[in-house]
Structure 1
Amino acid sequence: MTSFNLMHLQFILTGAMWTVILSVLATLGGGIGGAILALAGISRHRFIRNIAALYITLIQGVPLLVILFLTYFGLPALGFNIEPLAAATFGLSVYVSAFLGEIWRGSLEAVRKAQWEAGECLALTRMQVLLHIIMPQSIRLATPPTVGFIVQVVKNTSLVSAISFIELTRSGQIVNNSTFQPFLIYTIVACLYFAMCFPLSRFSRVLEKKFAISAR
């Protein structure tokens, strides 16, 4: 057993860095998937809407840990070699896409139908109405819940420790196994999560208040 030292702290900080990187990658990947799902969810074609709704229902109904296990252990069983980072990024992106897709679809549909009709009266195509009239309004509605969900993404990255990826939680576990100082180690881990999540939470609340005032 060794005492907690600067090298242990550096190792934990490296894990925190990977937590941030993984959160960014998952948000980007999930954001792309979420945008596709949101657009599919408001499609004029019922079949496309049903496919998007089915995907969202299935993914939201399955624990993230199970999705990560399917990605990390299931894909190699099918002949695909996948590294922990790629598995973690893919699994989280799949999970994030379902929730962001639902948030953004709801924001698009929250814009009054009269806005669509006004655009059509101006002889704009459906895509032009979507890009120039609907999306600018829906972004205002979608931003606060999106930022709030990203906080959950940061915290949910702790689950990737179950597939051997060394992020903040896993690095804390490794250091604790070496030092046997759980209270100190996990207090540091908790403080680092707080340092990452609190600014996002505050930003989300500020956006909610700002947009609530501007909507009056």
Structure 2
Amino acid sequence: MIRPFGWNEFWIIVMAAQWTIALSAIAFAGGGVGGLLVALARVADHKVPRLLATGFIRLFQGTPLLMQLFLVFFGMNIFGFAVNPWIAAMIALTLHASAFLGEIWRGCIEAVPPGQREAATALGLRYINRMRYIILPQASRVAVAPTVGFLVQLIKGTSLAAIIGFVELTRQGQIINNATFSPFLVFSTVAAIYFILCWPLSLLAGRMERKFSRATTR
């Protein structure tokens, strides 16, 4: 039986945003750890970690996120590891974020003037200490704006988790639409919530980018 779209349905959609936020936060945190390891491997002194990191990045940047969700969800079940949509979405989005953040941060590391790296090497600092004390503190300033920009994309990317049955904002909108048959009201609400989540972050990314641009031109 079709029911009207009212306050109760609106509130159900709003509450579903907590799962979008939770999934984004977990994927971003896990992707941050993985991305740092990937970035460090990409600029390592030895060839093997550079090749492995490059292959990882190309794999996840060269395939759609939707396919990655499918492969994790159905692939793990095929191999006997029963996972629910929440775990599958978390794993897929974390790997996805690791690849993209790793490449973003690799570019930020390489944006540090080569003289800094050469000076650290001349002082006898090993790779880990060069990165910890010299390179990463400078690269982190460059990385803030593109990292926040990627977070916006990650939040919107969580909507694809609906395809494997994870009930986040988009999936809850689909469920409410099936019950009310009010697609304009339902998906306008969903779009408005995504906008409220992403717009402040987009403004922050733009502000950080302008701030860094002014700092580098002085």
The TM-score normalised by the length of structure 2 is 0.96
Once residues 214 and 122 of structure 1 are traced to their aligned partners in structure 2, the CA distance between those partners, rounded to angstroms, is 28
Give the aligned partner of residue 188 of structure 1: 189
Once residues 155 and 96 of structure 1 are traced to their aligned partners in structure 2, the CA distance between those partners, rounded to angstroms, is 13
Q: How many residues align?
A: 216
Give the aligned partner of residue 31 of structure 2: 30
| Percent identity of equivalent pairs | 46
Q: Does 1:97 align with 2:98?
A: yes
Give the SS at the match of 2:82: coil
Q: Does 1:145 align with 2:146?
A: yes
Give the SS at the match of 2:34: helix
Q: Deviations over 1:19-69 (max 9, x none)?
A: 011000110111111111001001111111011001100111111011001
Stretch moving more, 40-49 or 118-127:
118-127
Matches within 5 A, 1:70-109: 70-109=71-110
Superposed displacement of residue 18, structure 1: 0.5
Once residues 104 and 205 of structure 2 are traced to their aligned partners in structure 1, the CA distance between those partners, rounded to angstroms, is 14
Q: Does 1:158 align with 2:159?
A: yes
Give the aligned partner of residue 119 of structure 2: 118
Give the aligned partner of residue 62 of structure 2: 61
Which ranges in structure 2 are unaligned for 5 or more consecutive residues? none
Q: Deviations over 1:58-107 (max 9, x none)?
A: 11111101100111111011010111111100011111111000000111
Once residues 146 and 50 of structure 1 are traced to their aligned partners in structure 2, the CA distance between those partners, rounded to angstroms, is 23
Once residues 46 and 120 of structure 2 are traced to their aligned partners in structure 1, the CA distance between those partners, rounded to angstroms, is 20
Give the SS at the match of 2:30: helix
Superposed displacement of residue 10, structure 1: 2.0
Give the SS at the match of 2:5: coil
Q: Does 1:12 align with 2:16?
A: no
Give the SS at the match of 1:109: helix
Superposed displacement of residue 6, structure 1: 2.3
Superposed displacement of residue 110, structure 1: 1.4
Which ranges in structure 1 are unaligned for 5 or more consecutive residues? none
Once residues 71 and 87 of structure 1 are traced to their aligned partners in structure 2, the CA distance between those partners, rounded to angstroms, is 6
The TM-score normalised by the length of structure 1 is 0.97
Give the SS at the match of 2:4: coil
Superposed displacement of residue 118, structure 1: 1.5
1:32 is aligned with what amino acid?
V
Once residues 54 and 67 of structure 1 are traced to their aligned partners in structure 2, the CA distance between those partners, rounded to angstroms, is 15
Q: Deviations over 1:118-165 (max 9, x none)?
A: 223334333222111111110111111111011000001100000000
Q: Does 1:132 align with 2:133?
A: yes
Superposed displacement of residue 7, structure 1: 2.0
Once residues 74 and 207 of structure 2 are traced to their aligned partners in structure 1, the CA distance between those partners, rounded to angstroms, is 41
Once residues 88 and 174 of structure 1 are traced to their aligned partners in structure 2, the CA distance between those partners, rounded to angstroms, is 19
2:89 is aligned with what amino acid?
A
Q: Does 1:42 align with 2:43?
A: yes
Once residues 54 and 27 of structure 2 are traced to their aligned partners in structure 1, the CA distance between those partners, rounded to angstroms, is 21
